[in-house]
């Protein structure tokens, strides 16, 4: 009831694998918001973090961590959240006008040019370094989970629903989206946070530039043969190939991506 008192719910914005997201406005001042409903059945267990009182649903806890001040301009803010009967409701900021990056690309013939991809990458890598500093692994980096302001091209990373706390040891569980999973998970059943994140950044960069995924199936991910468009600059192809190195330890760190010539 408090949710309805404070926010006016509008039309459905999108449906992902885990939740339904509605457009909305904050009644007090007309601020545009998005309200994401996540079923408690699908939500991960609650966790306790030292900086917050009491247990929190994992997605909420991760968002609170990345949104704490000083915040990143390139991560979508959570303004509020509600523990309802059968679901959680996350109240998120809604940049206007915006689209997720997949819809944005599809509206422009499937892909974007190198200049725009470079702008996206610079902001995305900054957002992911911010997550790492806060001890948060996003684990579902893909165009559908990046919002782009259609005028300024400012981006905001969102959807921490597959995320986890950042740890230096290996993760064993599958989480995220099949097309963005690194080969080491298929080969050895485990992956490390840094190289798996960089792999998904490489898949994202490839996809927005070419309009299709670099690998169409787990078999192709393992084979790892990349075919890159001749139209792309040498620096750009070099960065994509580096991020998509078959061996996890050959991939750049997020900081090395920032320093790559293509992003200078």
Site residues, Mg ion (CB under 5 A) = 16, 18, 145, 159, 161
Q: Is 11 helix (H, G, I), strand (E, B) or coil?
A: strand
> Do the beta carbons of residue 145 and residue 182 sit within 8 Å?
no
Task: Residue 100: name its binding partner from ligand ADP, Mg ion, none (Cβ under 5 to 8 Å by kind).
Answer: ligand ADP
Query: Comparing C-alpha atoms, which of 194, 181, 190 is closest to residue 135?
Result: 194
Q: Does 97 bind ligand ADP (CB under 6 A)?
A: no
**Candidate residues 21, 63, 155, 257; the one interacting with ligand ADP per rule CB under 6 A:** 21
For ligand ADP, the closer of residues 158 and 180 by Cβ is: 158
Q: Does 116 bind ligand ADP (CB under 6 A)?
A: no
Neighbouring C-beta atoms of residue 195, cutoff 10 Å = 20
Closest residue to bound ligand ADP by CB: 16
Query: Comparing C-alpha atoms, which of 144, 135, 123 is closest to residue 203?
Result: 144
**Candidate residues 7, 158, 215, 262; the one interacting with ligand ADP per rule CB under 6 A:** 158
Nearest distance, CB of residue 80 and ligand ADP, angstroms: 13
Task: Give the separation between CA 169 and CA 193, rounded to whole angstroms.
Answer: 8
Neighbouring C-beta atoms of residue 146, cutoff 10 Å = 25
Q: Does 147 bind ligand ADP (CB under 6 A)?
A: yes
> Do the beta carbons of residue 244 and residue 226 sit within 8 Å?
yes
Nearest distance, CB of residue 3 and ligand ADP, angstroms: 16
Task: Residue 59: name its binding partner from ligand ADP, Mg ion, none (Cβ under 5 to 8 Å by kind).
Answer: none
Task: Give the separation between CA 145 and CA 159, rounded to whole angstroms.
Answer: 6
For ligand ADP, the closer of residues 34 and 208 by Cβ is: 34
Stretch that binds ligand ADP, among 60-68, 107-115, 144-152, 219-227 (CB under 6 A): 144-152
For Mg ion, the closer of residues 77 and 251 by Cβ is: 77
CA dihedral 171, 172, 173, 178 (to 10 degrees): 90
Q: What is the phi/psi pair of residue 186, to 5°? A: -70, -35
Which positions lie near ligand ADP, rule CB under 6 A?
A: 13-14, 16-19, 21, 34, 36, 76, 92, 94, 98, 100, 144-145, 147, 158-159, 161
């Amino acid at each position: 009831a408090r949710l309805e008192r404070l926010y006016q719910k509008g039309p459905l914005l999108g449906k992902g694998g885990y939740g339904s997201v509605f457009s909305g406005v904050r009644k007090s001042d007309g601020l545009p918001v998005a309200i994401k409903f996540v079923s408690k059945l699908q939500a991960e267990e609650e966790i306790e973090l030292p900086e917050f009182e009491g247990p929190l649903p994992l997605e909420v806890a991760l968002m609170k961590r990345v949104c704490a001040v000083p915040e990143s301009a390139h991560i979508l803010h959570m303004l509020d959240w509600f523990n309802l009967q059968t679901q959680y409701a996350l109240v998120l900021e809604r940049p206007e006008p915006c689209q997720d990056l997949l819809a944005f690309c599809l509206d422009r013939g499937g892909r974007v040019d190198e200049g725009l991809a470079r702008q996206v990458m610079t902001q995305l890598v900054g957002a992911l370094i911010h997550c790492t500093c806060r001890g948060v692994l996003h684990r579902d980096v893909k165009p559908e989970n990046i919002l782009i302001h259609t005028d300024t091209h400012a981006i905001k990373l969102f959807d921490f629903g597959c995320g986890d706390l950042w740890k230096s040891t290996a993760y064993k569980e599958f989480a995220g989206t099949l097309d963005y999973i690194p080969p080491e998970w298929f080969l050895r059943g485990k992956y490390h946070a840094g190289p798996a994140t960089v792999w998904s950044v490489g898949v994202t960069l490839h996809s927005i530039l070419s309009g299709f995924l670099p690998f169409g199936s787990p078999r192709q991910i393992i084979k790892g043969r990349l075919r890159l468009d001749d139209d792309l600059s040498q620096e750009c192809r070099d960065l994509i190939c580096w991020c998509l190195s078959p061996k996890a330890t050959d991939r750049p760190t997020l900081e090395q991506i920032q320093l790559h010539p293509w992003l200078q």
